[in-house]
Amino acid sequence: MTTKMRMALLLSAALAFCAVGIGQVGKPQPDENGVYAGNGVWAAALVHPVPAIASDDPRLKGSKSVCGLLVEAGADGVPETVAVANRVASPFDDAAILAVRQSRFEPGTFKGKPVPTRFMVWVPFIDGHPAVPVGGGSAPWKKPAGLKTLTNPVPISTPPVELSDEARRGHYAGYVVIQVLIDEDGSPTHARLLVRAGKGMDDNALAAVSKWRFKPATLEGVPVPFLMNAEVAFR
């Protein structure tokens, strides 16, 4: 985000973005599914990827597509939920899901303790190349191993977040952390509140984030869905 954009947004709210598993923000608390997210939580790491079997599929010829999968892994690192995150279905989705379920992950952690986590895994189906899953957690501010051509989403339109009337009248401040999936069109979807501020600020933050637009993340030049956290600080 440019300095000019930051200064403009500080008039109403301060923003920070990060990929899930790469320097997360917010106080870690398990959600309704027991999944952890927030500051100090590291997503499960992919340590033994199993390639998807699609080499004999005639639809692969000339193909350059990527299946983005939203994964929830238990405290043992075993994927419990693997869901397609792409807006448009792919003929390779089933092969991608099977490959990820057969792959091995190190558990996600919080304060050194294994915990359930949520993260992205991508399976690129590119003619002439093995469809090897990539993704999972990593060290702070470093791309996960194997993602040499991953680009993060870039904000292109972030309308200011207005302070709620209740917070303005009471001179309240606070911050809201929202986990959001940026789809391959650059639109935010599947927003989840990780940290609440109350006083009407949560609803205002969610409403504003839903209107933001991004240049989408890419893998091997293909637009892909991307899971990230957005922090909205009301001053």
Rounded to whole angstroms, the Cα distance separating 186 from 206 reads 16
Question: Distance (Å, rounded) from C-alpha 48 to C-alpha 51?
Answer: 10
Phi, psi of 210 (to 5 degrees): -65, -20
Please check whether residue 44 is in contact with residue 191, taking contact to mean a CB–CB distance below 8 angstroms. Answer: no
Domain ranges of the chain: 3-27+153-215+228-234, 41-148
Query: How many distinct helices (H) and strands (E) make up the chain?
Result: 4, 18
Do 3-27+153-215+228-234 and 41-148 agree at the fold level? yes
Lowest-pLDDT choice from 15-29, 117-131, 169-183: 15-29
pLDDT value of position 4: 34
Tell me which residue of 67, 69, 71 sits closest to 108, measured CA to CA: 71
Give the CA radius of gyration of the chain.
18
If one counts every other C-beta atom within 10 angstroms of the C-beta of residue 112, the result is: 7
DSSP assignment of 128-164 equals TS-B--EEB--STT-PPTT-TTEE--EEEE-PPPPPP
- The pLDDT of 165-171, averaged and rounded, is 88
Mean pLDDT, residues 54-67 taken together: 75
Q: What class does CATH assign to 3-27+153-215+228-234?
A: alpha beta
Domain 41-148 part of CATH 3.40.50.970: no
State the pTM of this model.
0.82
Q: Say if residue 2's pLDDT is above 50.
A: no
pLDDT of residue 201: 92
Q: What is the mean pLDDT of the chain?
A: 82
| Whether the predicted pLDDT of 17 surpasses 80 | no
Are residues 221 and 149 in contact, defined by beta-carbon separation less than 8 angstroms?
A: yes
Instruction: Determine contact, residues 152/217, Cβ cutoff 8 Å.
Output: yes
Tell me which residue has tokens 């959600």. Answer: 31
